[in-house]
Structure 1
Amino acid sequence: MKNRTKALLREGERALGTWGMLADPTAIELAGIAGLDFVQVDMEHTARDLPTIEHMARAADVVGITLLVRVPENNPKTILRVLETGVQGIVVPQLESGEDAARAVAAMRYPLGGERGVCSITRASRYGSLRPQFAEYVESADRELLLVGLIETAAGVENIDDILAAGVEVAFVGRRDLSGSLGVHGAVEHPSVLEAQDKVIKAVAAHGNAWAGLVPYRNPGEQEWITHDAPFLAYRNDISLLLEAYQNAVCMLGRESASAGGRDGQR
């Protein structure tokens, strides 16, 4: 299937998405219905399992949204198993060197461009129905799958040129982890964090064959984010958006929310 997000990036358009923390395919469908281009489902900080990812991939296909999965580690077998569910890309955490990036690229691409294991009867390859055209499927998979690398340590920033040269397509700046790596935990607007972020964005622009990704920690309607050179933009996550909507509803109905009032949330 054509990767909607990758097509936008190739055309010079901004791709808008969010992080997926909920273990529910319905959340993926809602994101697509709302008009987002991608969801990055988190397997690093959640208890998400592969059967759930596969159902989420089905939901993404229904609404035409790009499903990307943040794998828990840069492990070839983990990446392989996630790809075989039929998702359209991988988000790899804590890339710190060209060698790290090359390992992820090799796990994602079929031979001869990589080392991905070949199986023609998975959901990704339509359960064997593509066997007569499997070579064409391999070519399209290598073309359409999107590789996002999280740059979230000082070492990753320092080695960004090597990471991009290895084949990472989106260099996504993870400012919360980056702030910790730089010794300013949680201060995502700290000058040292913003300086590191700008170094990544400039490296991507100079590379010419990749895109920059960010989470806007300010309102994306503000002029800074409209003009910022980051075409891959992930706004918040499904849990925080749902929680905020519930809190606003409680306040609108004249009751202080549990989190705002310091109560334990019990009814």
Structure 2
Amino acid sequence: MNFRPRQNRILEALKEGRIPLGMEVYTSNPSLIEIIGYAGFDFYKLDMEHTRINPETMEHCIRAADAVGITTLVKVPDLNPITIMHAIEAGAQAISVPHIKNKEDARKAVNAVRYPPEGNLGSCSSIRSACYSTKGWDHYLQHHSKQTMLMAVLEDKEAIDNVEEIFAELKPGVDAVSFGRGDLAQSLAKPGEEVDWDHPFVMEAYEKVLEVSKKTGIPVNAVPWPEATNENVKAAIDKGARICLYTIDQLLFYEACQNIVKDMEGILNGGK
């Protein structure tokens, strides 16, 4: 069987001038991923950093995504070339790597995501992403080079200090950056202090990342803050974000359950 390419809907949307819309998935339920796809989302981010999702489950999730034509972005737990290779070979079309702090980290991520001569990713034709066959291998390599996205997560003070050199390692037209407000804000909190999610340094760092994004043309992924509302999505886009990750599936379900309990209180308690 020849290689059958799957288009990266994040990149397609960007090329069309649209903002690709995604959902972050912690539950790793293939049925839920199918629903997200049927609902019309462009992509979902399968988070393997803050969950217990294993490589086998990841592959089943990607199969479900392929069935409904939604793009898979896998957030790996760390800068481990083997973990990244497993995600790519399973069929992930985008890889999010946390805690990219400098150009050396960015180069390691690039090497892990891309085949030679662009990187050091090991070659094996008997993999799901290449349709388990040597037939069409060159076609697969060309497609991978143009369609597989690296998303570097900037969430450390060191990353903000080195933001321009990190962007310089990325591939325009393919790669992207994600701004990690949570970890950055947490790292600034002193012992005994509450975390200031809108710390001045965090706000300045976000502006700096967006400024470099505009100069380089490499898009920034943003989560509507402090909650997923239409107004906050618009605010993020107006500031310069070009990829929208709406919210986390577990948060969405939690909020829905809260609303049900609130709405039912009067009915279940006899109108009291």
Q: Same fold (TM over 0.5)?
A: yes
Cα deviations across residues 86-110 of structure 1 (Å, max 9, x unaligned)? 1111000000001101111111111
2:85 aligned with 1:77:
no
Q: Secondary structure at the match of 2:196?
A: coil
2:29 aligned partner: 24
| 1:200 equivalent among 206, 209, 227 | 209
Alpha-carbon distance, 1:192 to partner:
1.9
| 1:146 equivalent among 139, 145, 149 | 149
Cα deviations across residues 163-196 of structure 1 (Å, max 9, x unaligned)? 1111162110010001022337642222221111
1:263 aligned partner: none
Q: Secondary structure at the match of 1:111?
A: coil
> Where does structure 1 lack aligned partners over 5 or more consecutive residues?
257-267
- 2: CA distance between counterparts of 1:163 and 1:253? 51
Q: Is the 8 A contact 1:24 1:56 kept in 2?
A: yes
Q: Is the 8 A contact 1:176 1:186 kept in 2?
A: no
- 1: CA distance between counterparts of 2:199 and 2:247? 19
Q: In the superposition, relative to structure 1, how do residues 113 and 246 fare at CA in structure 2: closer, same or farther (>3 Å)?
A: same
Q: Secondary structure at the match of 1:100?
A: helix
Q: Is the 8 A contact 2:62 2:91 kept in 1?
A: yes
Which amino acid in structure 2 is aligned with residue 63 of structure 1?
Answer: V
- 2: CA distance between counterparts of 1:118 and 1:225? 39
| 2:187 equivalent among 181, 191, 204 | 181
Which amino acid in structure 1 is aligned with residue 184 of structure 2?
Answer: L
Q: Is the 8 A contact 1:17 1:39 kept in 2?
A: yes
| 1:156 equivalent among 152, 155, 159 | 159
- 2: CA distance between counterparts of 1:143 and 1:39? 20
Q: Secondary structure at the match of 1:117?
A: coil
State, as a whole percentage, how many aligned pairs show the same letter. Answer: 37
Which amino acid in structure 2 is aligned with residue 32 of structure 1?
Answer: G
2:134 aligned with 1:126:
no
Aligned residues: 253
Matches of residues 186-265 of structure 1 in structure 2 within 5 Å? 186-208=195-217, 210-218=218-226, 219-222=228-231, 223-254=234-265
Over the aligned positions, Cα root-mean-square deviation in angstroms equals 1.7
Q: Secondary structure at the match of 1:234?
A: strand
- 1: CA distance between counterparts of 2:18 and 2:204? 25
Matches of residues 49-60 of structure 1 in structure 2 within 5 Å? 49-60=54-65
Cα deviations across residues 71-96 of structure 1 (Å, max 9, x unaligned)? 01101111101111111110000000
Q: Is the 8 A contact 1:29 1:59 kept in 2?
A: yes
2:47 aligned with 1:42:
yes
Alpha-carbon distance, 1:126 to partner:
0.6
- 2: CA distance between counterparts of 1:241 and 1:32? 16
Alpha-carbon distance, 1:203 to partner:
0.7
Q: Is the 8 A contact 2:24 2:46 kept in 1?
A: yes
Q: Is the 8 A contact 1:67 1:88 kept in 2?
A: yes
2:96 aligned with 1:117:
no
Q: Is the 8 A contact 2:189 2:196 kept in 1?
A: no
- 1: CA distance between counterparts of 2:229 and 2:195? 19
- 1: CA distance between counterparts of 2:20 and 2:195? 26
Which is worse superposed, 193-202 or 25-34? 25-34
Q: TM-score, normalized by length of structure 1?
A: 0.90
- 2: CA distance between counterparts of 1:34 and 1:27? 10
> Where does structure 2 lack aligned partners over 5 or more consecutive residues?
1-5, 268-272
- 2: CA distance between counterparts of 1:171 and 1:181? 20
